[in-house]
Amino acid sequence: MDIALSLQHIKFFMGKSFKTFLKHTAKDFHNHSVNPPVVRASTIIFKSMNDIRRTQAKYKRDPRGGYFDYGRQGTSTTHILQKILTKLEESYHTFLTPTGFGSVFLAIFSIVRPGDEIITADPVYNPTRMLTQHYLNEFGIKTTFYNPHDLNSIQKNISKKTKLIFVENPGSNTFEFQDLSKILKIAKKNKILTAIDNTWATPYFFKPIKLGFDMSIVSATKYYSGHSDVMGGSLAVNKKVFKHVEKAQKITGLRLGPDDAYLITRGLRTLDVRLDKHEENAKKVAAFLSKNKKVKLLYPYKKGSFNYKMWRKYYSGASGLMGLKIKAKNKNSVIKFVNSLKLFGYGYSWGGFESLALHQGKSERGNRKFLNLDKDERLVRLHIGLEDPKDLIDDLRKSLKFVK
């Protein structure tokens, strides 16, 4: 593959709209194919030792330039994906990891050391909670969780040891939208680095680095892939933290393989089309669910609400993932509602073309400190896919009758 020509093509389309860029970027003019090929390599072959040294020297001058001397560093396939995502994120660079959670780990591992402290949003992805609250604690790294409804709780928990504020927006499973500029203001005032899990929106709907975050995480497993058959993660960074993350990735060996990189690149071609349709379908489903007295919808649909205001302030759109608080004295009736759905699959993850439903027990939401959940309220998460929304609404209507 003529990687230089392909990168020139990326540069040319950087001035075009997001939608045009996704359709025309990264052509393989050497092989005359629409998508760049899968290049697999462990050993990188050189013509001579002098050739190796020249490549290594180029890497030192430009670590983002795609100069590899060993397969763990990547191939042209992963490098092309990095360049595409860096453009979409409007970041200094984007690192790739084997899973979305790998990017969470890489972001945190890059910054904190024994004796440091982290302040984390209470409604984070439960594995992120387990990593920060339990695992890192064994290494002398303390984590405190802030209330997403009271951002003053961030300032109250800051000490001289605080190195990182970790945000997930909206909150995992309960979808709290936070005032992100206020968080950044607190962080910058105290000279603390920031990271955000932006998987729900992707940079199509919101660009965290542009707003001022140091690191932006997206699980490429979800909407980037779009077909529920890939694992991967991305970590977009600004120049300030680039060296820290570059060093950490070298040490940990957290690299995405070329086959998954190829599928993610292919999925990105239709990211805009799919997300627009996910949003369209989700809004129609939300309109239906909002009329049901047993359901409190956790989705930015209600004008005038704080969540709606914070969503409109930072996001250009909404994805297909939403939460439901269902009032039911009988827990089993909520589980029966979920189990009776015919067009919703049952399984973890989301972001694919198909709709999914999941009852959210404690194992999914984690040991939350600031969870506003009444005794008779149960959590259900829905991912609204690309089916006909009329069929999805009809399916939900029939199944909601089981809620008692």
39-65 per-position pLDDT tens digit: 999 999 999 999 999 999 999 999 999
d(CA 183, CA 180): 5
d(CA 225, CA 206): 18
Instruction: Map residue 307 onto helix, strand or coil.
Output: helix
Check residue 14 and give its pLDDT.
56
Check residue 30 and give its pLDDT.
66
Count of CA atoms in the C-beta half-sphere (13 A) of 352: 17
Phi then psi for 128, rounded to 5 degrees?
-65, -40
* Cα 365–chain centre separation: 17
Check residue 154 and give its pLDDT.
97
Of residues 261, 256, 241, the one with CA closest to residue 107: 241
| Maximum distance among all Cα pairs of the chain, rounded to whole angstroms | 75
d(CA 131, CA 343): 34
d(CA 378, CA 267): 34
Please name each of the domains of the chain with its CATH number: 271-400 (3.90.1150.10)
d(CA 179, CA 171): 12
Phi then psi for 56, rounded to 5 degrees?
-65, -35
- DSSP H or E run through 52: helix 49-61
Check residue 117 and give its pLDDT.
98
- Across the chain, how many H-helices and E-strands are there? 17, 12
d(CA 329, CA 375): 8
Phi then psi for 67, rounded to 5 degrees?
-100, 110
Residue 254 region, left (φ>0) first, then alpha (ψ -120 to 50), else beta? Answer: beta
Of residues 48, 44, 37, 82, the one with CA closest to residue 63: 82
d(CA 196, CA 232): 17
Contacts of 299 (CB under 8 A, 6+ apart): 175, 282, 286, 318, 322, 323
Residue 259: other Cβ atoms inside 10 A: 12
Mean pLDDT by 10 residues, the chain (404 residues): 53 69 78 84 95 96 94 94 96 98 98 98 95 96 97 96 98 96 98 98 98 98 97 98 97 96 96 98 97 95 93 98 95 95 95 96 80 89 98 98 94
d(CA 69, CA 56): 7
DSSP single-letter state for residue 44: P
Of residues 80, 92, 40, the one with CA closest to residue 269: 80
DSSP state letters, 68-133: -SSGGG--HHHHHHHHHHHHHHT-SEEEEESSHHHHHHHHHHHH--TT-EEEEETT--HHHHIIII
